[in-house]
Structure 1
């Protein structure tokens, strides 16, 4: 009897497809996609992971059905099948499990070690569970891979230190300012670097104001990136309201001058941190000489980013070695699931027999004393448990070790019927 499951991973990612191609594979209606994949691709279970850098399908199947997956995906995305040949990648079993661990540990991200993918994977398996698209195999796989990925990240430290100018700038603010959530934060600018800063602030739960040359631009930026828009004119004469100022503009002059910050500090009881992320600089360097003001510029921050990136790269081999050790544990857990339907069925059958024979014995004894009945019942349970546990655990171990002959023999010995197997 075949009990081995087939775990499939089909993916289109930034590694082999540019973003404008990747977008074509986007699955807009995830719930409908789950129904289509299970109906037309012969998948017993499936989980879809979708981010701006990847669209991936993990499935459990009894057959090799890559062609059916391609056809179904093409139909869902409105693409011809030829497009898939150039962009899609298929792996299964060991390689699929290995890839999932690389994802959860941060090795396969565009930004090495980034944390966001872990949250996205958690959301994906939660969504699949709610849609009843996943089942025992993929739920087990994802739960274990998420725990392992988290442990790998923590033990290796691959996610430590900001490696974007935006995240590093926010990290520096956190390190230099106590209780940042209680402080007033201002972001000047709405360009690419400002977007990185806003994303980092938003992710960490900090409230912040945003200003640009036009209020309309600030409002549009805040709708997407968070923050509250404020008029440009208000901030030029009101720097004293802020404790942390991120400046990321392309102004051809010093926007934050020594005079303006000197005036602002006259009315402040606490200090101020200014991070100039503009190129060329738009904060006068003389601001650094003002008492109570800490100024950092783009060159200093970029140097720290590069240092952190190099530190992460140095940890890649460590992470890969841990994954190689963990993959065997993950595979054993998945193989063990092959035996569970048989084990569950045997325990259920034996329990039914135990209850039936117990009732016969109690009727023959005509026993009414509840205390004695309880003792007899516990005795029968203990006898069954002591007899059945060892062979059942041995069957599980054989399954973990990839010994299908033992499973096949146990199936015949216990007269296990294939139709009883729960997916």
Structure 2
């Protein structure tokens, strides 16, 4: 079994390219369903955010699985397979696990240390698992990715000052506007990014409004933040009245276009944090429009400040990749089954020697008695070891394997020391 990842992210794709790979929940499910139509792919997950779209797969044949993934991305985007193959980051096995751990730890993010990616990855896995497209193999990798991310947070200062794309965008506003008090801002959308924007704006004394197609959702977020609600149907008026606009919706088409924009006498600062983009406009002299890719300066400064922590984090990720594969090896039931039989045979030899020494068995019957004892052991262990092999492909097998590791713990086993008494450690 192999792990395979195809990644199009802020590192290799601009906004215009990433827009071609946006997915609704229905489209995500269709993509996952199509991925598993390949005989080479047994489990799959798709991670789609404003900064990346990534296909994750557990596969039996990397080459065939990759061809299938590239075909699906080609169908989705209309781009050539060759272009996607040259542009995307394509990694397999330990490199794919390293990539997943780095993503979960936010050291692969545009804004290093940002706090949203862990939740986005968790949602991506829950979606795939809930629909039946991810199982034991993907679960193992994702679970260890989150454990790695926790270690990165605990042993580095990478998240000591929580940041996100939204908070970086707010920093851009402060650079452009000397005094935010007295300004009016409109936040379009009710996701996590919108909530972060609203809270930052309110803390800086900005009169802030929330709008959304579903008014109840806008009201809920507004109540939680202490903001006001603006009617979504009046959006065409709002864009000509507000000083600052943040938009981060899941709309599949622009919600602000040229025909809605009027000339005004004040400067406007618009931040389009959505993929695909919410704003489609020609250049306007009084409007400063920022997209996801326009926050590079702040992002670069963020990376420079966290360089030492990033190096330390990469070291943690690397060590955890090695530990993950050692752990997978330790989960193999065949060495444990072999060890069970070895221990059983040794027990028979020990008891036979004791019985002969004590005179419990006549020497002339020793061979037959030993044969009978070995046969009894085999009969006893047959169903148990058969069940072990069968359950090894199921989600609960990790707990079973851990229990067996604990019971088999001895100086003669072949289980790495770090995994002995596994059940106790966890």
Please give the TM-score of this superposition, normalised by the length of structure 1. 0.53
* Pair 1:13-2:2 in alignment: no
Gaps of 5+ in 1: 172-184, 232-246, 254-303, 358-384, 401-423
- Superposed, 1:138-217 pairs within 5 Å as 138-161=138-161, 163=163, 167=167, 188-190=184-186, 198-200=194-196, 211=207
How many residues align structurally? 284
Tell me, yes or no, if structure 1 residue 354 matches structure 2 residue 364. no
Deviation at 1:69, TM superposition (A): 2.1
Structure 1 residues 9 and 103, CA, compared in 2 at 3 Å: closer, same or farther? Answer: same
Cα distance change of structure 1 residues 355 and 6 upon mapping to structure 2, 3 Å threshold: closer
In the alignment, the residues of structure 2 paired with residue 150 and residue 186 of structure 1 have an alpha-carbon distance, to the nearest angstrom, of: 41
Three-state SS of the structure 2 residue aligned to 1:317 is helix
Structure 2 gaps, min length 5: 172-180, 223-227, 232-242, 246-263, 268-297, 341-375, 384-403, 420-426
For 1:63, the equivalent position in structure 2 comes to 61
Distance in 2, matches of 1:16 and 1:156, equals: 27
Per the TM alignment, residue 197 of structure 1 is displaced from its structure 2 partner at its CA by: 8.8
- Cα displacement (A) at 1:167: 3.5
Distance in 2 of aligned mates of 1:15 and 1:306: 13
Q: Is the radius of gyration larger for structure 1 or structure 2?
A: 1
State the match for 1:313 in structure 2: 307
- Deviation string 1:167-210 (CA, Å, 9 cap, x unpaired) is 48999xxxxxxxxxxxxx99732389xx9995316689x99998
Aligned to 2:75: 75
- 1:209/1:230 contact within 8 Å kept: no
Q: How many Å apart are 1:139 and its aligned residue?
A: 0.5
Cα deviation for residue 94 of structure 1 reads 1.3
Once the two structures are superposed, what CA deviation does each residue of 1:239-292 show, in whole Å capped at 9, x if it has no partner?
A: xxxxxxxx9699869xxxxxxxxxxxxxxxxxxxxxxxxxxxxxxxxxxxxxxx
2:114 and 2:165 in contact (8 A); partners too: no
Distance 1:355 1:84, change over 3 A: closer
Q: What's the CA shift for 1:14?
A: 1.4
Tell me the CA shift for residue 19 of structure 1.
Answer: 1.1
Asked whether the equivalents of residues 7 and 89 of structure 2 are also in contact (C-alpha less than 8 Å), the reply is yes
Name the CA distance, whole Å, in 2 between partners of 1:222 and 1:187. 25
Q: 1:21 to 1:132 in 2, by over 3 A?
A: same
- The 1:11–1:168 alpha-carbon spacing in structure 2 relative to 1, beyond 3 Å, is closer
Structure 1 counterpart SS, 2:41: coil
Aligned mates of 2:377, 2:204 — CA distance in 1? 62
Distance in 2, matches of 1:202 and 1:102, equals 29
Match of residue 117 from structure 2: 117
**2:408 aligned residue (389, 396, 406):** 389
Q: In structure 1, how many angstroms separate the alpha carbons of the residues matched to 2:46 and 2:334?
A: 26
Secondary structure of the 2:306 match is: helix
Q: Is the 8 A contact 1:41 1:68 kept in 2?
A: no
- Measure, in 1, the Cα distance between the counterparts of 2:60 and 2:377: 30
- Give TM-score scaled by structure 2 length: 0.53
DSSP 3-state at the match of 2:56: strand
CA contact (8 A) 1:209 1:229 kept: no
